[in-house]
Amino acid sequence: MKLSIIIPTYNEEEYLPKLLESIKNQNFKDEYEVIVADAGSKDRTREIAESYNCKVVEGGLPALGRNRGAEASSGDYLLFLDSDVILTEGYLESALEEFTQKDLGIAITQMIPLSDSKIDKISHDFANFFMRSVESIKPHGAGCYGILTRRDLHDAVDGFDESIDFGEDTDYIEKIAKISSFRVLRKPKLLVSIRRLEKEGRKAIAFKYAKSTIYQFSGRKITAEDLDYDFDYSNEKQLTERTTGKKRIIYSLCGEGMGHAIRSGVVIKQLSKKYDVVVFASDRAYQYISKKHDKVYEIGGFNTVYEDNEVSNSKTFVKGMKGLPGDLKNNLRLMHGVVKEFKPHVIVSDFEFYANLLSKIVKIPLISIDNISVLTQCELDVPKKYRGDRLKAEGVAYSFITMPKKYIITSFFRAPLKNPEKAEMFSPILREEILNLKPETGDHILVYQTSTSNKKLLELLKSVGIKCIVYGFNQDKEDGSLRFKKFNEDEFYTDLASCRAIITNGGFTLITEALYLKKPILSVPVKKQFEQILNAIYIERMGYGEFHEEITEDVLMNFLENLDQYRGKLEESDTSEGNQEILEELERTIEKYALDFD
């Protein structure tokens, strides 16, 4: 016998026929058998299984049912399926072919949700991507959505651990992967039911799987009882009286670039006047905020890899996935320890990944304040050519900020909101130093680059002899008409206020500061960096400057010739700051959703 398909069941008369029919319709030439391990169904499950000529055995909880099915099987290969999945065309043949060609010991299948919901599709796409990304680092799988292995390996690890009531599938995968090789199969796909999402709610399911993943990546076992874990605030009134009497906030911010740090510096300063604030930040954001606030913890974070002024998606995710297991373990251990001691009323996130996970684990309300959520919360008018970049960016945005109590979005443009009750848009947050500047029109162009890989731009600027002050390359030197400067806040303010125009990628913070000072912008976004592309599109659409994917001498000279036109448009437009308005809304949202310990 080539293959044994094992399906644990309990009262599955609604879903089982669809699965069995999809198996029957497979064009699979080798001999196979279907074994249904039933846990005492009260409906027609057994009758249906027998009508499809399945072998029916006594089952039990998932691990027990799978083991009993395997004991009754005779195939060289074992395929474990849940009863609410459907095989796609050619599934069995392509799964066995890839499994044997790659000389695998155990494999899992990617999922396609049986749903028209965009959120369901994006969440499943992200789950597939996540499992592929970490397959060489941490063999992982949940839901038993198609576990394929060899009989000898199943026997070698004594099957599924029946003492585990949650995550027994991941435990099984890890054990076999230690003595063989693991892979997420690329070609075969399973159609999966979303009944769990509909029954328990997407938020509850997201919490369960986020927490189980974190536990498993940090080497800890998790039980079903753990997933009902709730934070104990029973003695909170006493703790509140022992400390400051203020509401306590955890504020966590993304360390990519400097934009999140600069904005968060303004927000944290204001919040600290009324609340007790503890901050988590990574990389450059930690270096910046720790000089301005005394309760800052450093965590690991994700960073984008650039090559030749283009995002390298593959290297970005390889780098991210290599650091993920350690960051998950270390960050969550640190953050959870702070939560236990600090007992926060609410978590505020400026697009920080681990705060999102933390809020789900400890069940503390999450509030989002950033510019990135415009990607997921607004109806955006963007050319179709950027659809691929847009979908990737939306997927990342959804994974970083999941179901907060409210999205507070800062933006220099306006777009229709998908759900005005859940999200609200405000003008940009600007630091005090920018608000105090008195702009004038000097003789230099300010050049600021997020990525240091755009050497072609520097060669062009040098060749045309235009006076430029260049930031972003961490150099202090002169090269012809180019004056390179390492970042210094005071000097940067002076150079920004006195420039005649700006050439930059598409970073949000510099764009908003430039618009406030009425400076025309030539935006050349990093390729595949959709947030920058979006900013550049709206800069040009609003008449504040130009968007180009590549910069040439003709592009540059045309931009300079039209500076007066762009300045005129900027003078006519409202590019004011939104500090007071957005900070007042943040405080209202905190007061509304903060946990009540009294």
Q: What is the CATH number of domain 248-430?
A: 3.40.50.2000
End-to-end Cα distance, the chain: 65
The pLDDT, as a whole number, for residue 205 is 47
pLDDT of residue 214: 52
CATH for 438-572, options being 3.40.720.10, 3.40.50.1860, 1.20.1260.10, 3.40.50.2000: 3.40.50.2000
Distance CA 479, CA 447 (A): 14
Domain residue ranges in the chain:
2-227, 248-430, 438-572
Query: pLDDT digit string (tens) for 243-294?
Result: 456 899 999 999 887 889 999 999 999 999 999 999 999 988 999 999 999 8
Q: Which CATH architecture has domain 2-227?
A: Alpha-Beta Complex (3.90)
Instruction: Give every strand in the sheet of 366-370, ordered side by side.
Output: 296-298, 276-281, 248-253, 346-350, 366-370, 406-410, 423-426
pLDDT digits (tens, 9 = 90+) for 136-193: 776 766 545 789 999 999 999 999 998 876 678 888 999 999 999 999 999 999 998 8
User: Are 282 and 254 within 8 A, CB to CB?
Assistant: yes
For the stretch 41-86, pLDDT in tens is: 889 999 999 999 999 999 887 889 999 999 999 999 999 999 999 9
Q: Which pLDDT tens digit goes with each residue over 88-127? A: 999 999 999 999 999 999 999 998 988 877 777 887 787 7
Domains 248-430 and 438-572 share a fold: yes
Positive/negative CA dihedral, 90, 91, 95, 98: positive
State pLDDT tens for residues 479-500.
999 999 998 888 999 999 999 9
pLDDT tens column, 333-372: 899 889 988 999 999 999 999 999 999 989 999 999 999 9
Check residue 141 and give its pLDDT: 64
User: Cβ distance 418 to 379 under 8 Å?
Assistant: yes
Q: What are phi and psi of 109, to 5 degrees?
A: -110, 145
Is the distance from CB of 373 to CB of 409 less than 8 angstroms?
A: yes
The pLDDT mean for the chain works out to 86
Task: Tell me the two tokens of residue 404.
Answer: 């907060």
What pTM, to 2 d.p., does this model score? 0.61
> For 194-225, what is each residue's pLDDT tens digit?
776 555 444 444 555 555 555 555 455 544 44
Instruction: Give the percent of the chain with pLDDT over 70.
Output: 85
